[in-house]
Structure 1
């Protein structure tokens, strides 16, 4: 008989399901799900409220921050990239530049999935990532992208707002281009896998991973791509090939009523607490050098949201619908937070009336709103360490 303890672990794993970004704090934290991207979701997992700023993450030039995740379904690891763009509400035209690649062992170097070390879903590895030292002040968008090793051929992407410096400097297209043009473009595949897919069982070896690389110990490297659409899909991260100018936030010295648009107020995020850190990584990232300024009066943030479609100006009397459109693959539900069984081998978590289908792990089944094990299995997986390319080695 399946023990009560294992049943609790199985339910916890199904609740956290796939992986999503914990730090830096992502856009639209309340609407972000852990499912992979579907065609049309690129970039940043498009949805209503996709660029709502939950918290502005302060990340100064030259500072190293620790990237962390929530979830347990790491699909045997795989390869990840950490990228930035100058656009604060990225679109398909945005150009993404990779500041670090992880080849194998991301988001964890295990043979299957994880048993979280706490109910919040922590347990995946964390990664120290350095912001380029010469990047000019301004607001950027950070992205984590993941090509999983085992299971369906999928592409994951979460985005977060970051602010570099205090905004007192003058950022230009030329100054941003000088720093970012030397970095590789983000790599995209499996979107969808019928057009261009990586090979199951391989830790994808990016053709241009850049100078900052971490390689998982014992990684099964491979760069095999399948599909007629690879020549186009793999270049999606290059956008229109224009880096652009980072947005400068309004500073306290700017006179009230200035013609410049007010940006989101600065919120300094403390160093990420806890987590399972990549070996050799500091558990206390450098604190921000920018002091928190106390404004004379509260300033309402202005969301820099790029509309999905233009609003028709000729019908002002037509009331706007408050009901978001139902995304593709959504199963309607009424009990938020409940497990929804979708067929015999898929499930979803009810989130604002929508359950997105996710594949069950091998040996699991969904019945009457509960995920249970159809066969007895172990929840313990071996953990391995990571090592960084170059002269240093993680131990």
Structure 2
């Protein structure tokens, strides 16, 4: 089936508006951040990588302390503040946390937990109180979200803020739990079809849920997240052998080391090592150590199959996940790959939100027009076949570097992509789970779903 220009525009708009993002306080690299300049991430709504390679803050916490990462809000200790979340797909809501870090993102302390209906559809606001014992000075504020339905993911946006009139750092917020971390290759995951019940939500909680379920796997119980190192040591770091040697990573200076817990105690947070920091393995009994990743990847970042979607009954009419697009009604026609005849074209029609999920291997479907291959390939003709989007040889362009063709796509290795926007290349983004891309620096890029279902997007 070929999409017309109208349907294509709606589809691309659906991709751009999928998921949710924080807009206030304005996160690092957000289009709403006055300090971002031309280095803007136009995919702020994307979740963290399932491997945990960009935890925390999608890696943007490294901007803290620079002109681009300057503070965007002044908060008095003990004051009431508001964060605003917006987007086009809230995945049934879920549970969120508001947290603060006073050590450049090495540890996080929860200041408010929102259980259920977080975020709401469209734009919503959530009020919280800045702890009266919060340390004075600049800090990183984080919004983290675990969606109710769809892929098991963790979303996180971070912003630089300034705390005024607070206490001394030595004893600051020592009774606050560490931020909950899951679905990022750390052996802990969340259940679908219900709101996450945080193991330790902290003293400030808003509950608007009809059904809650705790996490599964090897998850932290919370623990004290105080930045002074006086925590309980029950952090959420991915399970790894304590004796594993340090391995320099490539994510903003993370060294990914997992040394034994020092005398001062772990700070209780998921601490994979950021900006020269060292992630300490929890003192509680660890799960069997996973296979050590290849050199150049932090030891603590190990993809886990436990992060896959766990289906379950729910009251929703559908269970969105993966890539959201808009497509004409009625439901798409299907045709076996061996049948050369094209399905009927539905035309422009009205549009609706459609979730494309990875099909079962035994029943492949296709919505592209299959073309019969010639009986005997004779040069120079090449047998035509539906594009599965399994490839892509584009070289990665430096984020923020200049580009000339607005809207140009760059597929990298079939698993990542970036785009020319506002005269500059965006940051490299990972494809959604079960999807691939093809096409190098072109105005059209093919998306493959499970290597069996493919769409080809053409610029109008």
Output the TM-score relative to the length of structure 1.
0.54
Q: Are 1:216 and 2:232 an aligned pair? A: no
Provide the secondary structure at the position in 2 that maps to 1:153.
coil
Greater RCO, 1 or 2 (C-alpha within 8 Å, sep 6+): 1
Deviations 1:343-367 (A, max 9, x none): 99997655736541343999xx999
Return the match for 1:62 from 70, 75, 78: 78
Q: Is the 8 A contact 2:99 2:111 kept in 1?
A: yes
Could you tell me which residue of structure 2 aligns to residue 225 of structure 1?
216
Provide the secondary structure at the position in 2 that maps to 1:82.
strand
Could you tell me which residue of structure 2 aligns to residue 389 of structure 1?
none
Partners of 1:14 and 1:4 lie apart in 2 by 15
RMSD (CA atoms): 4.5
Matches within 5 A, 1:1-395: 7-29=8-30, 30-32=39-41, 33-34=43-44, 35-38=46-49, 39-46=52-59, 49-51=62-64, 52=66, 53-87=69-103, 89-91=104-106, 94=107, 96-108=108-120, 123-165=122-164, 171-174=167-170, 176-177=171-172, 180-192=173-185, 195-216=187-208, 218=210, 220-226=211-217, 229-231=218-220, 241-242=229-230, 307-308=275-276, 332=396, 337-338=407-408, 349=419, 352=425, 354-359=427-432, 368-369=444-445
Q: Between Structure 1 and Structure 2, how many residues are aligned?
A: 270
Structure 2 alignment gaps of length 5 or more: 31-38, 232-273, 279-295, 304-393, 398-402, 448-452, 455-460
Bigger radius of gyration: 2
CA 1:162–1:70: 2 relative to 1, 3 Å: same
CA 1:162–1:225: 2 relative to 1, 3 Å: same
Partners of 2:81 and 2:128 lie apart in 1 by 5
Partners of 2:188 and 2:135 lie apart in 1 by 35
Partners of 1:124 and 1:370 lie apart in 2 by 31
Provide the secondary structure at the position in 1 that maps to 2:110.
strand
CA 1:223–1:62: 2 relative to 1, 3 Å: same
Partners of 2:224 and 2:54 lie apart in 1 by 12
Output the TM-score relative to the length of structure 2.
0.48
Partners of 2:25 and 2:199 lie apart in 1 by 26
Partners of 2:433 and 2:185 lie apart in 1 by 20
Could you tell me which residue of structure 2 aligns to residue 317 of structure 1?
none
Q: Is the 8 A contact 2:115 2:209 kept in 1?
A: no
CA 1:360–1:191: 2 relative to 1, 3 Å: closer
CA 1:342–1:206: 2 relative to 1, 3 Å: same
Partners of 1:137 and 1:14 lie apart in 2 by 40
Deviations 1:272-319 (A, max 9, x none): xxxxxxxxxxxxxxxxxxxxxxxxxxxxxxxxxx74599xxxxxxxxx
Provide the secondary structure at the position in 2 that maps to 1:45.
helix
CA 1:157–1:358: 2 relative to 1, 3 Å: same
